[in-house]
Amino acid sequence: MLTRTLQISTADGEADAFAAFPGEGGPHPGVLMYPDGFGIRPVLRDMARELAGHGYYVLVPNPFYRNGPTPVLDLPEHIGEEARPAIFAKLMPMIEAHTTERVLRDADAYLRFLTTQPEVGAGPVAVTGYCIGGLLATRTAAAHPGQVAALAAFHAPVGAAGPDDLQRLTARVHFGHAESDLTPAALGELNQTLDAAGVGYTSEIYPGTVHGFTMSDTDAFDPAALRLHWDRLLPLLAGA
């Protein structure tokens, strides 16, 4: 397994990023992985390595590079409930400033960079994301229907993308929702929108989970739900 720290030129500056990919064979299918709001850190690097071990070139950009390089936030090794108020006091202004226009400008740059790496094969790519990163992934896939063949988002506010974005999706989709984030009624409304758009998808609530269930450095972590996440993600990517 090879890893690199990279710089991606965007319309607004230089975004740092982490990449993981197999050291042999290739070229490999490309995956753009958006982190959660806490950003690139050991758990995200581990997840990128895990996915790369299945034969993918995985690129994890720093969405908040305008606020500084990784680590943008000073985080404890374990993000417990007592640490969250101070972290979110700094995080939320960055999220609120990250407009759809910014997201799409950055997505153009990330996809252009990913698809021109010598280790990445020709053809469409996949996009995945966690928490706010899942919303960024959804907007990226909606804006690049011919280029993104698979989209996965976990414990993400994907409904905030809006019906227009959801109706533009042509990728195969999996949305894995936290039980604390989405009621069954809200899930039904979201899935009705996807049905009406003719999207090929699975969209489900992971039982007993709370927001952030994939992240092993938080109190929200659920090992069984993380395994389910891999059980859903890997077949989706393989079929893209």
Beta-sheet strands, E only, within the chain = 2-10, 13-21, 30-34, 57-61, 125-130, 148-154, 172-178, 201-206
Domains of the chain: 2-238 (3.40.50.1820)
- Using one digit for the tens of pLDDT, what is the confidence trace for 86-120? 999 999 999 999 999 999 999 999 999 999 999 99
Q: What does the pLDDT profile of the chain (240 residues) look like in tens digits?
A: 999 999 999 999 999 999 999 999 889 999 999 999 999 999 999 999 999 999 999 999 999 999 999 999 999 999 999 999 999 999 999 999 999 999 999 999 999 999 999 999 999 999 999 999 999 999 999 999 989 999 999 999 999 998 999 999 999 999 999 999 999 999 999 999 999 999 999 999 999 999 999 999 999 999 999 999 999 999 999 987
Three-class SS state of 62: coil
For the CA atoms of 6, 211, 42, 20, the dihedral, rounded to the nearest 10 degrees, stands at -40
